[in-house]
Amino acid sequence: MDDRRSIIVYGLGERASAIARMMLLSGHAVAVHEARSPSVLRRKMAFSDAWYDGAAALDGVEARRADSDADFLVALRSGTAIPVLTHPLIDVVGRWPWDVVIDARDIFDPIERSRRGTAELTIALGAGAVAGSDCDLVIETGGPDPGAVIRAGRARQDCPVRRRMDGPVLAPVSGVFVSSRMIGEVVDAGELIGAVDEMPVVAPGRRRILGLQRSPRSVRAGEVLAELTAQRSRKVCGVDSADQLIARAVAFAIDLELNWPSLRFENLKW
């Protein structure tokens, strides 16, 4: 039995990156897709910088932007890096015979649904999607049972939600944000984090920088520029334990659905 599958993951955030990494380490041919420039704060815990810089690493796995068919095919077939695709989604879905489609974007887009039927198995993460309609499976990402597999209906959350931030720092005005700070740095109260059109943005207290917008970047007033934490030992790079749990649940669901369908709970004979 050949367990190797071709898998496309939508999104470049922390959770999507953790899932893509797990898929590659599980022996699958995997790519990620993000058509628009991603806004990810915890950039050391995701592959998002590959969209801008051409490459990014996450816990020993590299993702590389693949703008040409040659780059895409070499990375997908060799497994040396995860290709990052930036083409329109409709082109990406149709350019390769994907076995599995995983929508791991932070907020599910009802206009760009997982397109159930375009792959042997379609999976969506968290709230927004309906298993049996938008996709084949929904994976719980919150609540009392993260990682649970739903084959009919929605996740427990009533609406899409973003994960709680430790200490968000907001843009005081609209303009261009610039910063020379680095993720992982410790800043004291009143120290400069950056500026938006020369208006200073300062730390409210002694904190460690957990997440930081890329610079320079156009931002709107009230947009989150940085995430600060008072926990000096807080992890700022690598895969988060919660995302690792979700990634393992996705890998298990794929294995069960495609390789051992007779072992699904509803098929067991008691």
pLDDT at 171: 95
37: which 2 tokens? 């420039």
Decide: helix, strand or coil at residue 122: strand
The rounded mean pLDDT for the chain is 86
Q: Check residues 156 and 33 and name the one with the higher pLDDT.
A: 33
Q: Model confidence over 153-188: pLDDT tens digits?
A: 887 764 444 455 668 999 999 999 999 999 999 999
Q: How far is CA 220 from the centre of its chain?
A: 23
Q: Model confidence over 232-256: pLDDT tens digits?
A: 888 899 999 999 999 999 999 998 8
* Domains of the chain in sequence order: 6-161+240-267 (3.40.50), 168-229 (2.40.50.100)
pLDDT at 110: 59
Q: Check residues 19 and 135 and name the one with the higher pLDDT.
A: 19
| pLDDT exceeds 60 at position 230 | yes
pLDDT at 127: 79
Q: Check residues 235 and 96 and name the one with the higher pLDDT.
A: 235
Q: Check residues 1 and 62 and name the one with the higher pLDDT.
A: 62
131: which 2 tokens? 């298993």
| pLDDT exceeds 50 at position 189 | yes
pLDDT at 3: 67
The whole model's pTM is what? 0.87
Q: Check residues 195 and 116 and name the one with the higher pLDDT.
A: 195
- What is the β-pairing status of strands 29-33 and 199-202? unpaired
Beta bridge partners of 84: 32, 65
Closest CA to 200 of 210, 187, 211: 187
pLDDT at 214: 93
Q: 49-58: long-range contacts (C-beta < 8 A, 24 or more apart)?
A: 49/214, 50/12, 50/84, 51/12, 51/84, 51/86, 52/214, 55/81, 58/17, 58/18, 58/21, 58/238, 58/239
Q: How confident is the model at residue 260 (pLDDT cuts 50, 70, 90)?
A: low
Single-letter code of the amino acid located at 209: I
Q: How far is 86 from 135, CA to CA, in rounded Å?
A: 22
Average pLDDT (19-24) is 96
Q: How many helices (H) and strands (E) does the chain have?
A: 5, 17
